Amino acid sequence: MRNRKARLTLCVGAIAVAAGFATPAHAQPTGPATALATVQAPADTTPAVYGRAAYLLDASTGKALLGRNADTRMPIASLTKTMTAYVVLQSAKPTDMVEITPEDVRYAVNGGGTSAYLRAGDRLPVKELLYGLMLPSGADAAHALARAYGPGVPGFVAKMNDTARRLGMTDTEYVNADGLPMPGGDGHSTARDQALLGVKALENPLLKQVTATRRHTVEQTADHRSYTWTNTNKLLGAPGALGLKTGFTRAAGFSLAFAGERDGRLLVGVLLGETVSSRRFDTARTLLEWGARQA
């Protein structure tokens, strides 16, 4: 058992989970997924959880309700964009305008990433770009924001890593603002670190609003065309669900950072390395219901 304290505005006390068996940081899941056991209660009282790593935190008390391989480093794909949004709002105002460049558009297309289908020459407020970043998981929006608030993407990535250290995310290293694979190697994080980030991100009212939005439309103005974005997070719609972020690459598998509010409690969870896309949302829904019943 490994204990570690993290200072969080919403959390008090120590967060403790079982480390589980070691897994190579960049190994891909192979074969059928196996259920993960909780560390807080007998296995027959907990829901089945699949994938390579899982973590569920009661952020209102700082108590870890479930964990397996919570400190194993692995790629996290587009969960990276939660840090991008968080860092942007450390210095940007929601009303700040960012002009989309051809480079931003090409980056998403050439990198094979998901896109918000931004158009070069459009000028959009930071608030709207956050919806483009978090709902359809736009790599073009990530590149535009990182370029504007680094300044430059390398400078922005340095800010992401500095922020991770400040938040106590000691097992996290970012290499870009979107989580796409890089020639020099992917970044990495852990289920525990991403839960810590989720708690901090949800302290920001705008980010909390964005991540809980199922569909968002931007009306056309003289500065930009109209856009409509649908959230990739199918957990939304469940009672109290706040969303957070989805992710997928071949190396990372299917990932999900999720949160929910129940009876005045904030639960934050992370699933990494799932092999079935839809199952992560069912698992998260079940974990939120189960977690709400834990003392």
> Distances from the Cα of 163 to the Cαs of 172, 196, 205, 271, 273, in angstroms?
10, 12, 19, 22, 24
189 is catalytic: no
- 3-class SS at 236? strand
Count Cβ atoms below 10 Å from residue 107 Cβ, excluding itself: 24
Alpha helices in 11-96, H assignment, sequence order: 80-91
Strand 265-274 versus strand 2-5 pairing type: unpaired
> Distances from the Cα of 152 to the Cαs of 55, 115, 131, 162, 204, in angstroms?
33, 20, 21, 16, 24
78 is catalytic: yes
- Among the listed residues 78, 115, 189, 255, the single catalytic one is 78
- Among the listed residues 60, 63, 81, 159, the single catalytic one is 81
Query: What's the CA gap between 237 and 69, in Å, rounded?
Result: 29
Q: For residue 287, which amino acid is it?
A: L
- Among the listed residues 60, 63, 115, 137, the single catalytic one is 137
* 49 secondary structure, DSSP code: B
CA angle in degrees (0–180, nearest 5) for 281-173-21: 60
Alpha helices in the chain, H assignment, sequence order: 80-91, 102-111, 126-134, 139-149, 153-166, 191-202, 205-211, 277-292
Count Cβ atoms below 10 Å from residue 109 Cβ, excluding itself: 11
Count Cβ atoms below 10 Å from residue 83 Cβ, excluding itself: 30
245 is catalytic: no
Q: Which of 263, 253, 231, 254 is nearest to 244 (CA)?
A: 231
Query: What's the CA gap between 158 and 178, in Å, rounded?
Result: 14
- Catalytic site positions: 78, 81, 137
